[in-house]
């Protein structure tokens, strides 16, 4: 690797990192504002124009707050847990392609940090590590609410990760590759080549499972304010709480980006050949990616104010008795169809 490509990678990492953090800030603001709008309120609109600087004010508040470490916690694990959750949350975005290729300095630059050939596996593995943060935080805090929250999240993730992984398997069968770039390339062309239209059932299962994965309503049993105070982060304050907060939003952003990449053609603009348009094609592709992602982020909040929380047994029933068999059937049908068409 020469010096120039090293610089290019550094720039890409910085861009994606800054972009993710910015998206987290926007999401924190949007969450409150959209929630308010759906309840007929106005939400924060005082700090800056339209209240846009509210997340910065919140961030300063988190930094200035007293950092309480309660008695009786397991200190090393208590301190480590937020980090374990935040780092994988920020790392997952590394393999997601967010635009087509730019030609700069006589080289083709892919708009993606790392073109890993097992991109999907990488994401699934990292999101599973994030759960350790929740479970360890719940256990190390030495409090009943956090422990119940942590245990619930581990049980929930086991039951939904299966359905999530299996719904992705049907996509992998279609594209024949675990590399996210290949999956995006396979969805190029006209609108119906997006995988939502070819795999609607897999999309539905994937969408429901991501809500469970990111601990969002209707599956937010890990924090369930009404019964568990704050769930796994009850005993955390100040910046350590902010880290949990940030990683939750970063997880949502990755989940939205992954949904777009797997089912909505990634950065693909339908009926348009981005590569022939040069620079404009690149800008359009990034814009379309951001737009699609924005819709799914909005959907997270939208669903939050539409559906009530599931009871715990209902959650387990849905995961094991509905989503898992459905995704298996879906794989069976997809595989059968692919074999039959290959035989001809």
Partner 1 sequence: MATIIKSYEPTFWDKLYIPALVKGLMVTLKHFFRKKVTIQYPDEYHIPPEGYRGLHRLNKFPEGGIKCVACEMCSAACPADCIHITPGPSPSAEGKERYPVQFDIDLLRCIFCGFCEMACPEEAIELTEIYDFSDYTREDLIIDKDGLLEVFELTKDQKYYSRKNYTQESKA
Give the binding site for partner 1 (CB under 8 A).
Answer: 34, 37-42, 204, 302-303, 305-307
Q: Which is nearer to partner 1, 85 or 208 (CB)?
A: 208
> Comparing C-alpha atoms, which of 206, 332, 300 is closest to residue 259?
206
Q: Which is nearer to partner 1, 39 or 103 (CB)?
A: 39
Distances (CA, A) of 235 to 81, 141, 155, 179: 12, 6, 21, 40
Q: Which is nearer to partner 1, 233 or 292 (CB)?
A: 292
User: In the complex, what is the shortest distance from the CB of residue 306 to partner 1, in angstroms, rounded to a whole number?
Assistant: 5
User: In the complex, what is the shortest distance from the CB of residue 36 to partner 1, in angstroms, rounded to a whole number?
Assistant: 8
Is 176 in contact with 255 (CB distance < 8 Å)? no
- DSSP secondary structure letters along 267-280: TPPTT--GGGGTHH
**Residue 172 contacts by C-beta under 8 Å, 6 or more apart in sequence?**
120, 178
Q: Residue 107 forms beta bridges with which residues?
A: 104
Give the CB-side neighbour count of residue 278, counting CA atoms within 13 A. 0
User: In the complex, what is the shortest distance from the CB of residue 197 to partner 1, in angstroms, rounded to a whole number?
Assistant: 16
Q: Which is nearer to partner 1, 19 or 294 (CB)?
A: 294
Q: Which is nearer to partner 1, 110 or 326 (CB)?
A: 326
User: In the complex, what is the shortest distance from the CB of residue 43 to partner 1, in angstroms, rounded to a whole number?
Assistant: 9
> Comparing C-alpha atoms, which of 150, 247, 175, 252 is closest to residue 207?
252
Is 202 in contact with 167 (CB distance < 8 Å)? yes
Q: Which is nearer to partner 1, 17 or 302 (CB)?
A: 302
Distances (CA, A) of 256 to 82, 129, 138, 204, 298: 22, 19, 26, 13, 10
Length of the chain: 344
Q: Which is nearer to partner 1, 302 or 312 (CB)?
A: 302
Q: Which is nearer to partner 1, 79 or 307 (CB)?
A: 307
User: In the complex, what is the shortest distance from the CB of residue 211 to partner 1, in angstroms, rounded to a whole number?
Assistant: 12
User: In the complex, what is the shortest distance from the CB of residue 158 to partner 1, in angstroms, rounded to a whole number?
Assistant: 24
Alpha-helix residue ranges (DSSP H) falling in the chain: 3-38, 54-64, 75-91, 119-140, 144-175, 180-186, 195-198, 200-213, 225-228, 238-263, 279-304, 312-317, 324-343
Respond yes or no on whether the N-terminal peptide bond of residue 218 is cis (omega within 30° of 0): yes
User: In the complex, what is the shortest distance from the CB of residue 210 to partner 1, in angstroms, rounded to a whole number?
Assistant: 15
User: In the complex, what is the shortest distance from the CB of residue 123 to partner 1, in angstroms, rounded to a whole number?
Assistant: 26
């Amino acid at each position: 690797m020469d010096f120039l490509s090293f610089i290019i990678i550094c720039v890409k990492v910085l861009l994606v990192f800054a972009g993710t953090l910015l998206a987290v800030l926007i999401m924190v603001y949007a969450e409150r504002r959209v929630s308010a709008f759906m309840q007929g309120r106005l939400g924060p609109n005082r700090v800056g124009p339209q209240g846009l600087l509210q997340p910065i004010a919140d961030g300063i508040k988190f930094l200035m707050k007293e950092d309480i470490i309660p008695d009786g916690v397991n200190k090393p694990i208590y301190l480590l847990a937020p980090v374990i959750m935040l780092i994988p949350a920020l790392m997952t975005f590394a393999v997601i392609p967010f635009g087509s290729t730019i030609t700069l300095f006589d080289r083709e630059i892919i708009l993606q940090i790392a073109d890993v050939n097992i991109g999907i596996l990488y994401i699934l593995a990292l999101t599973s590590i994030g759960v350790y943060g929740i479970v360890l935080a719940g256990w190390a805090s030495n409090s009943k609410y956090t422990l119940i929250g942590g245990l619930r999240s581990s049980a929930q993730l086991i039951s939904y990760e299966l359905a999530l992984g299996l719904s992705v398997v049907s996509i992998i069968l279609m594209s024949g590759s675990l590399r996210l770039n290949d999956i995006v390339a396979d969805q190029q062309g006209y609108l119906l080549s997006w995988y939502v239209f070819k795999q609607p059932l897999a999309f539905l299962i994937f969408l429901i499972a991501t809500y469970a994965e990111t601990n969002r309503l209707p599956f937010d049993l890990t924090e369930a304010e009404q019964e568990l105070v704050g769930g796994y982060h009850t005993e955390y304050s100040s910046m350590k709480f902010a880290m949990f907060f940030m990683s939750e939003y970063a997880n949502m952003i990755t989940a939205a980006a992954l949904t777009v990449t797997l089912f909505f053609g990634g950065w693909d603009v339908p009926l348009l050949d981005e590569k022939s348009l040069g620079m404009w094609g690149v800008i359009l592709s990034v814009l379309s990616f951001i737009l699609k992602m924005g819709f799914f982020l909005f959907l997270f909040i939208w669903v939050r104010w539409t559906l009530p929380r599931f009871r715990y047994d209902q959650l387990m029933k849905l995961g094991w008795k509905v989503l898992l068999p459905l995704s298996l059937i879906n794989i069976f049908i997809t595989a059968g169809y692919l074999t039959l068409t290959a035989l001809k």
